[in-house]
Structure 1
Amino acid sequence: MRAHSSREPASPASVTPASRSPAPHDNELGLPLPQRYWAILVVALGISISVLDSAIANVALPTIARYMHTSAANSIWVVNAYQLAVTISLLPLSSLGDRIGYRRVYQSGIVLFTFASLGCALADSLPTLALARVIQGFGAAGIMSVNTALVRMIYPPASLGRGVSINAMVVAVSSALGPTVAAGVLSIAPWQWLFAINVPIGIAAFSIGIRALPGNVRRDSPYDYVSAVMNAFVFGLLIFAVDGLGHGERPVYVALEVVAALVVGYFFVRRQLSQPAPLLPVDLLRNPLFALSIGTSVCSFTAQMLAFVSLPFLMQNALGLTQVQTGLLMTPWPLVIIVAAPIAGVLSDRMSAGLLGGIGLALLTCGLLLLAATLGTHPQPFDIAWRMALCGAGFGIFQSPNNRTILSSAPRSRSGGASGMLGTARLTGQTLGAALVALIFGVVPQHGPVVALYVAACFAAVAAIISSLRVTRSGAPASA
């Protein structure tokens, strides 16, 4: 393979909106100011709408089902179609970004996502809406797959933690506020506006990105289409198996899906081991620091999703709170992340991610245990709010340093692969967390929310242990 043999051609996209000065595409100086601010704005806009759309549709499902005159079970495909498309295409698109340039993949993702959002808003039947959601999912994957790789190009190594913290904060807050945003929109407008509001945001992000986003040195290696297809089968079958496990599918079908995924996965991994720049970055996973950081991310996002799905049931069914009260009392979690993530990002440029992650995840564990064990039957709003804030502080302290380590422990030329694994770890954890909640609610319906919070605390504690193992590992970033 001939690495670094061509460069993305100079274009208006490599200059700032103000000065039109060339961006340093192939070195580690990052972008000059104020282009850096414009570029990170584009990244924040793109990732916010793509992450929000994976959450807001849940709230609108009953309304969409009534409008489409379909059953609740069928309407689930509005969510599943999006989630499936994102998950099966994240790694292939991140690998494509390493080859043709992160900016091209990101901008193409924004265009596809924006047009598909318009298609969702105009859909008049469930099959049409589901198809638009599939296309929208592929667009979102284009955004998610390389967004952190772009952050690495935007910021110099000395301040990479700050850029990563902004990105992590946007992801965390978008995930947490999705239901609240959806409820707010639905209170004043039809469900179609949940998708229509993406259109002007997408147009703005693309327009600014043309002139602000950096390019990067590209590789002329051929793209591995066979691996992309195998990747889709592996992750697609696993998603169907996990979803079926959580929704009472017959065990024999779940077992067949798992076996098929394992068989295809075996040959998939064997193929990756023979590739110089594999689509599934097994070469990066050989780095203990990278592998431990990915494991920490999967466990922590599993804990987060277990909490986010079960807490509304605890507050409304067990504590007798209204939907509005529930939304307000869950808000401290994302609000504290807004404060904690930037601080942790700055600290991650100077301190061990293993130590910061261990501290943050220990706080998250304590917060989840306090929510599960000490609220009582008639808690005051402040009793719930400060526990939620403790969870948010812990998650915010962990996430930015962890993401920075995932990026900096990979060679610069493999930033796309690292970015794709980061997104895949997050989606894997969220999918597993949601499925576990459904499984727990089916096994112990009376105490499901509390049990789910205990399980979430266990995952957070495991994540803290994994994170602490990195304290003894070398944290020197790879640059080759």
Structure 2
Amino acid sequence: MEATTDKRISSTWILILTSLGFFMSMMDSMIVTTASTAIRTDFHISVNTLQWALNAYNITIGAVLLVGVSLGERIGRRRIYNIGIFIFTLGSVFCALSSNINVLIVARIIEGIGASVMTPMSMAILTHALPASERGKALGIWSGIGGLALIVGPSLGGLIVAKLTWQWIFWINVPIGLVAIYLSKRILPESTGNSDKIGLLDSLLVIFASAGIIWSLSEITAASSKVISALVGILSLVLGIWFIVRQKNESKPMIPLKYFRSKVFTGGNVATFLLYAAMYGVVFFLPQFLQVVGRADSLTAGLEILPWTGTLVVVAPFAGKAVDKFGEKLIATLGLILQGIGYLLLSILVTEQSSYLIMIIPLALAGIGLSMAGPALQKSVLGAVDPTSIGKASGIYNVFRLMGGALGTTISVIVFYRFGNTIDVSSFTNGFRAAMMCAGLMSLMGILFSFWVKDNN
């Protein structure tokens, strides 16, 4: 009986410590959103520049993720997990000490390097450490805690900014990170996977191509010299093509291109890209709109987002069951439609004089849609490959998700400035409505690719 109790305690601690890393990584992409207005005011910067406080983090995670996964599989998952938490914590210190936006962006890149391994390694450690009979429930709890970060992040960020200063959204990571490293080293088991050699050139190509393409898109509308932005974009595309050619010719590629011969795998990933491109554009602008136009303080803005983010915890468990019962294609398509309709309604209904109440139903519809499409597309992508390839397929899925978020934010900023600006409330509202229209259309575009999805039941 005592041995069984000790085993249960050990399993509980493994779940807590792996979920903590995932929670920290997810929350830091969200907690900045309600602090964005305070950061923009403090540093006297434009929305175009502010986007990099969010984009630098997401781009870095997406670009470095596959490299981090390979390192963990080769030299130890727990070791890389703890190194990731340490780098993330160090980056948080630099973020809190940032004196200008450029320093903050560099610090967010450091945070992103650490976060890039926290999510995949925590999932791998949890999956490897627990018996098959406990994995399903544990992974469900792990996913739920990650989803909880989407709810807690904006609200907690708003509370911290309202009561303290925006720098404290980063300081809180420090004690949590140090405790997590200490306990993980003592409690979490070590494990390894395949020992494929990590290609330095491939790693550099995917990092610079990803960051360069998004940077050039965001700068080409604002830069004094559009030639430089265009040249960087072209060079980044060349690097991306070079990376793809190398992957095609390598025996053990970082991204096996054979996966993309499957319409199910390709469609699921592209639909995921568009799903999160739409979502992150809204994540970036919604808190700013609530504060600039709605005149809410940071805490109130964080709470007003809850009809959108709160649906993730309420709907996600039912969405998972619905996917099992009705299939991935139907639930993914319906989810993309609902998210798109929600954002389009925001674009149509919101004015500079309108009440916040008019936003509640559109936000809830969009949240329900995201809660449905997310797990459906993930199951479709992972079900399109054989079981031995799930690790790499999961990494590719997350790269599409994160890159979609980064590119979606950039496109939304471009659209915002095309139709509005930050000069006054009326201009901000015009830009916000255009950005919401763009987000809605991106979500609806995903339907074209969700039709490629095949049910794996």
Report the TM-score when normalising by structure 2.
Answer: 0.83
1:301 to 2:276 alignment: yes
Partner of 1:458: 441
SS in 1 for 2:432: helix
Task: Give me the whole-angstrom Cα distance separating, in 1, the residues matched to 2:319 and 2:378.
Answer: 11
Equivalences for residues 140-179 of structure 1 within 5 A: 140-150=115-125, 152-153=127-128, 166-175=141-150, 177-179=152-154
2:240 to 265, 270, 274: 265
**3-state SS of 1:220 partner:** coil
Q: Which residue of 1 aligns with 2:424?
A: none
How much does 1:338 deviate?
0.8
What CA distance in whole angstroms lies between the structure 1 residues aligned with 2:89 and 2:442? Answer: 36
Q: Is the 8 A contact 1:293 1:406 kept in 2?
A: yes
Flag the 1:417–1:132 CA change in 2: closer, same or farther, 3 A.
same
Alignment of 1:434 onto 2:409? yes
The structure carrying a bigger helix percent of its residues is: 2
Which stretch shows the higher mean deviation, 378-387 or 332-341?
378-387
Comparing 239-248 and 150-159, the one that deviates more: 150-159
* Residue 339 of structure 1, CA deviation: 0.9
TM-aligned CA distance change 1:183 to 1:57, over 3 Å: same
Distance 2:102 2:346 in 1: 41
Q: How does 1:81-480 map to 2 (within 5 A)?
A: 81-121=56-96, 132-150=107-125, 152-153=127-128, 166-175=141-150, 177-210=152-185, 213=188, 218-245=193-220, 247-248=222-223, 250-312=225-287, 314-315=289-290, 320-323=294-297, 325-374=300-349, 379=354, 381-445=356-420, 446=427, 447-470=430-453, 473=454, 475=456
Contact 1:52 1:175 survives alignment (8 Å): yes
Please say if residues 347 and 436 of structure 2, whose CA atoms lie closer than 8 Å, have aligned partners that are also in contact.
Answer: yes
C-alpha distance in 2, partners of 1:453/1:305?
Answer: 11
1:12 maps to: none
AA aligned opposite 1:322:
A
Identity of aligned residues (%): 26
CA distance in 2, matches of 1:373, 1:120: 37
Distance apart, 1:128 and its partner CA: 6.5
Task: Quote how far apart the aligned CAs of 1:239 are.
Answer: 2.6
Amino acid at match of 2:451: S
- The Cα of 1:121 is off from its aligned counterpart by 4.1
Amino acid at match of 2:45: A
- The more displaced of 175-184 and 134-143 is 175-184
In 2, are the aligned partners of 1:94 and 1:145 still within 8 Å (CA)?
Answer: yes
Deviates more, 1:396-405 or 1:259-268: 396-405
| Shift in Å, 1:397 | 1.5
Counterpart of 1:46, as a letter, is G
Alignment-mate amino acid for residue 296 of structure 2: T
Cα-Cα RMSD? 3.5
Change (3 A) 1:335 1:71: closer
Distance 2:335 2:440 in 1: 13
Distance change (3 Å), C-alpha of 1:155 and 1:342: farther
CA distance in 2, matches of 1:160, 1:353: 22
Q: Would the aligned equivalents of 1:91 and 1:145 in 2 still touch at CA under 8 Å? A: no
- Tell me if structure 1 keeps the 8 A contact 2:158–2:302: no
**Which whole-Å CA distance do the structure 2 matches of 1:330 and 1:182 have between them?**
12
Whether contact under 8 Å (2:412, 2:439) holds in the other structure is: no
5+ long unaligned stretches in structure 1: 1-15, 22-32
Gaps spanning 5+ residues in structure 2: where? 421-426
Report the CA distance between 1:333 and its aligned residue. 0.9
Q: 1:416 to 1:363 in 2, by over 3 A?
A: same
In 2, are the aligned partners of 1:100 and 1:219 still within 8 Å (CA)? no
Cα 1:366–1:154 shift into 2, 3 Å = farther
Change (3 A) 1:118 1:18: farther
* Comparing 202-211 and 363-372, the one that deviates more: 202-211
Instruction: Note if contact 1:241-1:258 (Cα within 8 Å) is conserved in structure 2.
Output: yes
Q: Write the letter of the residue equivalent to 2:347.
A: A
Rounded to whole Å, the distance in 2 between the matches of 1:127 and 1:435 is 17
Deviation, structure 1 residue 298? 0.6
2 CA distance for matches of 1:330 and 1:35?
36
1:144-193 superposed Cα distances (whole Å, 9 cap, x missing partner): 34444456546788997766655554445534653432221122234442
Partners of 2:259 and 2:217 lie apart in 1 by 26
CA distance 1:435–1:135, shift in 2 (3 Å)? closer
TM-score normalised according to structure 1 size: 0.79
> Contact 2:307/2:364 (CA < 8 Å) preserved in 1?
yes
Describe the SS at the equivalent of 2:318: helix
For 1:79 and 1:316, the matched residues in 2 are separated by 18
Equivalents in 1 of 2:335, 2:267: separation in Å?
Answer: 16
Query: Do 1:98 and 1:416's aligned partners in 2 also have CA atoms closer than 8 Å?
Result: no
Q: CA deviation at 1:317?
A: 5.7
> How many residues are treated as equivalent by the alignment?
444
- CA distance in structure 1 between the partners assigned to 2:34 and 2:352 by the alignment: 27
The answer to whether the 8 A contact 1:102-1:416 is kept is no
Contact kept, 8 Å, 1:42 with 1:206, in 2: the verdict is no
- State the AA in 2 paired with 1:117: S
Bigger drift between 344-353 and 383-392 goes to: 344-353
Pick from 30, 36, 45 the counterpart of residue 72 of structure 1. 45
After TM superposition, the structure 1 stretch with the greater mean CA deviation from structure 2, 95-104 or 121-130, is: 121-130
Query: What's the CA shift string for 1:55-90, capped at 9, x where partnerless?
Result: 4346556766888xx653788765565445333311
